[in-house]
């Protein structure tokens, strides 16, 4: 398994001092160090930052990107990329909204939406794994076609929903925590389990590490690839449900450029775009870094134009620090 | 003795907390061939990587080249100074042509600064001719060639540098007898030109045939240096492993069991109409020259290459072979000859690699059973004497021979009925080789059917119950154990 931070620390804690263990953990989780530093700096500049309300707000705002980025992690671990997530989000969100608007039971509407997302992702996977099309191109096509399909389906207008139980998915609080945050936390646990404990997770790392070796070991690389894009589509649909629920409407342009934030979160979390190396905990941290950054820039009244520049600079910095650590080793 | 051309004094090397080399002295003379031997993980490759600027030595050591203290920080500096190395693991770019690989980074230029393709191809052709590889076209892409040919290209690249010291790290690992002889001729002519050669190999017969001097490393320390003529093979082994090894090729006699594998009229890329059977408890050896079709046959039986016509039956049941998955399901395991490209996922751990093919057996439903996995991996690491700090360390930090052991263990962990071993002891030291032979015998006694493809003649003769000879993709000979001789086999191999 590529360095699984938590188990490594458990080992070192047993035979070394706790302080050493903490240092090891931080060295293996540079993105976490980055997040903590960022939060420290921001709290110096902005007194409103370290309040429970604001932190919960960040978590809520981050949850959608975090969920998409977790799905993206599966794809990137196989050395692929999924540019279609934003469009999948919009399309599945629209379908979900129309089902809810037509008074379908949530027990039908939600699973159907998730299944649709997985199927759209799997379609990407088929084009890539069986059709042999480059992931970048295949999902670029997926992104364009699905955006078009969303506009056709919605006729270019938002679809509004009037359902309190549906709204609750995006807007309600449970034990003082926003529901989207709980959903993201649950998704994180499931993804972590799949990647680190399940056979499928091993195969994902194997495909990204060396496809040829994986194939010769008797593993169907085709199936693994289709599956990871299905996971990505599923997660995009989950994000679509949350966003639609929160806004109580599906916007045909929803999710535009979301793929970029998701990819950024994955890369900030230390996952290699070359595949085979990385882990889901990093992605979560990466998403939080982006969330904190957005929030901080808002608190500091930085215009959204400058926000983009600042965000780009931070990502570049993080990636430079990370790659430097690698060549020195 | 004259002053050495290249000498090392007090070289040490530590990776993190692991000490790999301790206070090593080493020297080579112009016009002589120095053998560097030792067990897997003894530090041979690491020492040579220090010489060529890939690793930095620990503080305190000294390297002298032509009498001057030197320290190279990049392989390029060493190259420019006149030290060339042929690495143990192939370092070629499969997407580029043969000529491009040979001159990578040093392409001949025209007056206008663009690459002078015709000069490059002509010079590449000259080098290949020197290695008697005239059949290899300089413009052909490298990726489609066998490991043996790729190794010859790697050698050609080292020759193209016209260096004064040439280091060869297990160059014959992937070569058959014929190419090995060609290489020896080339080395002798280099020697006559006054070059110094460092020659690393686990094939002891080569050391005695080729080398003038020998240095032995054991656990990172220099334990012997002197002339080869003063040693017997037994002496050398004793220096390397610290004990005697008798009976290098143990052979277990088993009553032949039922027919396990039946291949009928197999035709595939590089294989023309091959039929044979193999029984449970039998080791069937395959001999042949480079390009005879052994690897191609192995891959076709396993489902990695397409079987155009013909059938493969396991225990009397025809097996559909569309992908390696079908091979695995039918109980066939394949240990590839090219562990770097096909055998191991380099940055992943020993545990990850060994368990990969066997996860079905090591899981409860879809969840990997860590405990069962750990015990299985630990068991095989012990059986193969894999030298590594722990099972979670990445395989690319292991020595070549230890990587080979992991690759072998990975296939056997699937508990196959039939195992195809393509050069199974490539780069494995004498001691560990014997361990592997003992293990093969044990598996055989348990009813495993073993197909052994090996370029190492003594190994093939020592282990096989029957030897089949391939030439140009066809079976040209069959020998029972006892009848088989090196000469007899060679005669059929060139047929
Ligand atoms: N980059 C690295 N990081 C950590 N350990 C390493 C690294 N490279 C080599 N080692 C360790 O150094 C030791 C010596 O390795 P080396 O490759 O020099 O052995 P070798 O004598 O060439 O063996 P072989 O005959 O198997 O090729 C091994 O135990 C190996 O695990
Ligand atoms: Mg070596």
Q: What is the pLDDT of residues B223-246, one digit of tens each?
A: 999 999 999 988 999 999 887 777
Poorest-pLDDT segment among B83-87, B224-228, B250-254? B250-254
Residue B87, pLDDT > 80, answer yes
Query: Pick from A216, A276, A277: which is nearest to B304 by CB?
Result: A216
- The pLDDT, as a whole number, for residue B1 is 56
Spatial distance between the Cα atoms of B1 and B4, rounded to a whole number of angstroms: 8
pLDDT tens track for B376-386: 999 999 988 88
Using an 8 Å Cβ cutoff, are B353 and B332 in contact?
no
**Residue B16 CA: which ligand 1 atom is closest?**
4
Confidence of residue A17 (pLDDT cuts 50, 70, 90): low
Mean of pLDDT values over A76-88: 97
Residue B115, pLDDT > 60, answer yes
- The residues, ordered by sequence, that sit 6+ positions from A167 with a Cβ below 8 Å of its Cβ are A161, A245, A246, A248
Query: Could you tell which of B15, B170, B174 is best to mutate to test the pocket of ligand 1, judged by most ligand atoms within 8 Å of the CB?
Result: B15
pLDDT tens track for A94-146: 999 999 999 999 999 999 999 999 999 999 999 999 999 999 999 999 999 99
Using an 8 Å Cβ cutoff, are B240 and B216 in contact?
yes
Mean of pLDDT values over B418-428: 90
CB contact under 8 A, A1 and B367: no
Backbone angles phi, psi at A152, to 5 degrees: -65, -50
Mean of pLDDT values over B428-438: 87
Q: Which of the 8 DSSP states describes residue A198?
A: B
- The residues, ordered by sequence, that sit 6+ positions from A147 with a Cβ below 8 Å of its Cβ are A86, A87, A90, A91, A256
Task: Select, from the ranges A70-84, A266-280, B228-242, the one with the highest average predicted confidence (pLDDT).
Answer: A70-84
Poorest-pLDDT segment among A64-78, A151-165, B88-102? B88-102
Residue A295, pLDDT > 60, answer yes
- The residues, ordered by sequence, that sit 6+ positions from A90 with a Cβ below 8 Å of its Cβ are A146, A147, A150, A240, A250, A251, A252, A253, A254, A255, A256
- The pLDDT, as a whole number, for residue A322 is 66
A62 vs B427, higher pLDDT? A62
Spatial distance between the Cα atoms of A326 and B12, rounded to a whole number of angstroms: 23
> B173-212: string of b/e by CB count within 10 Å (b at 16+)?
bbbbbbbbebbbebbeebbeeebbbbbbbbbbebbbebbb
Q: What is the CA radius of gyration of chain A?
A: 20
- The residues, ordered by sequence, that sit 6+ positions from A170 with a Cβ below 8 Å of its Cβ are A179, A180, A241, A242, A243, A244, A245, A246, A247
Using an 8 Å Cβ cutoff, are A153 and A250 in contact?
no
Q: Domains plus CATH for chain A?
A: 31-324 (1.10.3470)
Q: Domains plus CATH for chain B?
A: 6-241 (3.40.50.300), 259-331+416-493 (3.40.50.300)
For residue B343, give how far its alpha carbon lies from the nearest alpha carbon of chain A (Å). Answer: 6
pLDDT tens track for A183-212: 999 999 999 999 999 999 999 999 999 999
Spatial distance between the Cα atoms of A8 and B62, rounded to a whole number of angstroms: 37
CA distances from A255 to A68, A136, A260 (A): 10, 18, 10
Residue B191, pLDDT > 60, answer yes
For residue A314, give how far its alpha carbon lies from the nearest alpha carbon of chain B (Å). Answer: 28
Those residues of chain B whose CB sits closer than 8 Å to some CB in chain A are 302, 304, 323-325, 327-329, 334, 336, 341-349, 351-352, 355-357, 359-360, 363, 366-368, 370, 392, 410, 414
Instruction: Assess whether the C-beta atom of B45 lies below 6 angstroms from ligand 1.
Output: yes
ipTM of the complex: 0.86
Tell me the CA–centroid distance for residue B56 and ligand 2, in Å.
17
Residue A10, pLDDT > 50, answer no
Confidence of residue B399 (pLDDT cuts 50, 70, 90): confident
Spatial distance between the Cα atoms of A252 and B83, rounded to a whole number of angstroms: 65
- The pLDDT, as a whole number, for residue A323 is 65
Residue B196, pLDDT > 60, answer yes
Confidence of residue A5 (pLDDT cuts 50, 70, 90): very low
- The pLDDT, as a whole number, for residue B392 is 93
Confidence of residue A69 (pLDDT cuts 50, 70, 90): very high
Chain pair A-B, CB pairs under 8 angstroms:
81
Contacts of A277 in chain B (CB under 8 A): 347
Using an 8 Å Cβ cutoff, are A92 and A120 in contact?
yes
Residue A6, pLDDT > 60, answer no
From A179, A219, A185, select the one nearest A203 (Cα to Cα).
Answer: A219
Question: Per DSSP, what are the bridge partners of residue B474?
Answer: B471
Query: Could you tell which of B398, B406, B433 is best to mutate to test the pocket of ligand 1, judged by most ligand atoms within 8 Å of the CB?
Result: B398
Confidence of residue A11 (pLDDT cuts 50, 70, 90): very low
Nearest chain B alpha carbon to A212: B342
CB contact under 8 A, B323 and A220: yes
pLDDT tens track for B454-472: 988 889 999 999 999 999 9
Residue B205, pLDDT > 80, answer yes
Task: Taking the CA atoms of B157, B159, B165 and B168 in sequence, report the sign of the dihedral they define.
Answer: positive
Mean of pLDDT values over A54-58: 94
| CB atoms closer than 10 angstroms to residue B28 | 25
Residue B169, pLDDT > 70, answer yes
- The pLDDT, as a whole number, for residue A12 is 36
Residue A8, pLDDT > 90, answer no
Mutation target for B interface from A217, A224, A270, A275: give the one with most B CBs within 10 A: A217
Residue A2, pLDDT > 50, answer no
Q: Atom 22, ligand 1: which residue's CA is nearest?
A: B45
Poorest-pLDDT segment among A311-320, B115-124, B150-159? A311-320
Helix, strand, coil shares, percent, chain A, to 5: 75, 5, 20
Instruction: Assess whether the C-beta atom of B402 lies below 6 angstroms from ligand 1.
Output: yes
- A222: left (phi > 0), else alpha (psi -120 to 50), else beta? alpha
CB contact under 8 A, B329 and A198: no
Nearest chain B alpha carbon to A275: B347
């Amino acid at each position: 398994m590529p360095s699984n931070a938590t188990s490594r620390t458990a080992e070192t804690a047993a035979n070394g001092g706790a302080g050493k263990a903490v240092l090891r953990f931080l060295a293996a989780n540079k993105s976490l160090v980055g997040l903590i530093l960022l939060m420290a700096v921001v709290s110096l500049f902005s007194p409103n930052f370290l309040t429970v309300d604001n932190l919960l707000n960040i978590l809520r705002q981050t949850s959608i990107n975090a969920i998409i980025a977790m799905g993206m992690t599966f794809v990137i671990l196989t050395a692929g990329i999924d540019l279609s997530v934003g469009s999948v989000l919009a399309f599945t969100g629209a379908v979900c909204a129309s089902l809810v608007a037509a008074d379908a039971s949530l027990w039908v509407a939600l699973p159907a939406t998730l299944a649709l997302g997985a199927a759209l992702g799997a379609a990407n996977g088929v084009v890539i794994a069986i059709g042999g099309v480059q992931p970048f191109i295949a999902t670029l096509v997926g992104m364009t076609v699905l955006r078009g399909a969303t506009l056709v389906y919605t006729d270019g207008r938002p679809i509004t929903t009037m359902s309190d139980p549906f709204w609750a998915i995006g807007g309600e609080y449970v034990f003082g925590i926003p529901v989207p945050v709980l959903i993201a936390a649950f998704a994180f646990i499931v993804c972590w389990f799949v990647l680190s404990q399940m056979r499928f997770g091993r195969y994902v790392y194997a495909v990204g590490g060396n496809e040829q070796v994986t194939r010769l070991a008797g593993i169907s690389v085709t199936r693994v690839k289709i599956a990871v894009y299905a996971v990505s589509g599923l997660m995009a649909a989950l994000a679509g449900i949350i966003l639609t629920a929160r806004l109580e409407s599906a916007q045909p342009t929803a999710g535009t450029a979301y793929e970029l934030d998701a990819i950024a979160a994955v890369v900030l979390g230390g996952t290699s775009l070359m595949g085979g190396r990385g882990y889901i905990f990093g992605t979560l941290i990466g998403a939080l870094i982006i969330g904190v950054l957005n929030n901080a820039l808002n608190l500091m009244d930085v215009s959204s134009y400058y926000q983009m520049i600042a965000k780009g600079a931070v990502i570049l910095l993080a990636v430079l620090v990370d790659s430097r650590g690698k060549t020195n080793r | 003795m004259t002053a050495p051309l290249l000498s090392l004094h007090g070289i040490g090397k530590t990776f993190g907390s692991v000490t790999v080399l301790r206070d090593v002295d080493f020297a080579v003379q112009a016009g002589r061939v120095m053998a560097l031997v030792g067990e897997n993980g003894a530090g041979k490759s690491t020492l040579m990587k220090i010489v060529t600027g890939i690793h930095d030595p620990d503080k305190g050591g000294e390297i002298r080249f032509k009498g001057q203290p030197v320290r190279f920080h990049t392989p390029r500096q060493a190259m420019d100074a006149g030290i060339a190395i042929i690495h143990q693991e192939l370092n070629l770019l499969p997407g580029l042509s043969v000529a491009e690989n040979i001159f990578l980074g040093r392409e001949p230029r025209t007056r206008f600064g663009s690459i002078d393709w015709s000069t490059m191809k002509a010079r590449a052709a000259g080098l290949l001719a020197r290695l008697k590889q005239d059949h290899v076209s300089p413009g052909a892409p490298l990726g489609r060639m066998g490991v043996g040919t790729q190794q010859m290209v790697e050698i050609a690249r080292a020759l193209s540098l016209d260096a004064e010291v040439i280091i060869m790290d297990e160059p014959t690992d992937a070569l058959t007898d014929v190419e090995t002889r060609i290489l020896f001729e080339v080395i002798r002519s280099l020697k006559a030109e006054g070059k110094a050669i460092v020659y690393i190999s686990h094939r002891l017969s080569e050391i005695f045939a080729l080398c003038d001097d020998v240095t032995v490393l054991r656990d990172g320390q220099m334990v012997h240096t002197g002339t080869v003529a003063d040693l017997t093979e037994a002496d050398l082994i004793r220096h390397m492993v610290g004990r005697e090894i008798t009976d290098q090729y143990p052979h277990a006699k088993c009553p032949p069991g039922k027919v396990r594998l039946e291949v009928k009229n197999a035709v595939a890329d590089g294989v023309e109409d091959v039929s044979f059977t193999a029984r449970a408890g039998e080791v069937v050896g395959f001999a042949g020259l480079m390009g005879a079709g052994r690897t191609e046959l192995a891959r076709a039986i396993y489902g990695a290459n397409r079987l155009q016509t013909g059938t493969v039956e396991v225990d009397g049941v025809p097996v559909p072979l569309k992908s390696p998955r079908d091979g695995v399901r039918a109980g066939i395991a394949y240990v590839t000859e090219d562990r770097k490209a096909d055998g191991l996922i380099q940055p992943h751990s020993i545990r990850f690699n060994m368990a990969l093919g066997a996860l079905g057996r090591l899981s409860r439903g879809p969840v990997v059973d860590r405990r069962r996995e750990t015990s299985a991996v630990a068991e095989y690491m012990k059986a193969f004497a894999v030298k590594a700090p722990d099972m979670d360390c990445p395989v690319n930090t292991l020595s070549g021979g230890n990587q080979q052991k992991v690759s072998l263990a990975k296939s056997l962990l699937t508990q196959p009925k039939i195992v195809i071993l393509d050069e199974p002891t490539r780069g494995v030291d004498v001691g560990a080789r014997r361990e592997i032979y003992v293990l093969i015998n044990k598996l055989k006694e348990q009813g495993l059917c073993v197909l052994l493809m090996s370029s190492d003649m003594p190994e093939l003769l020592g282990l096989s119950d029957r030897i089949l000879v391939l030439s140009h993709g066809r079976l040209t000979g069959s020998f029972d154990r006892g009848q088989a001789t090196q000469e007899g086999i060679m005669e059929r191999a060139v047929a």
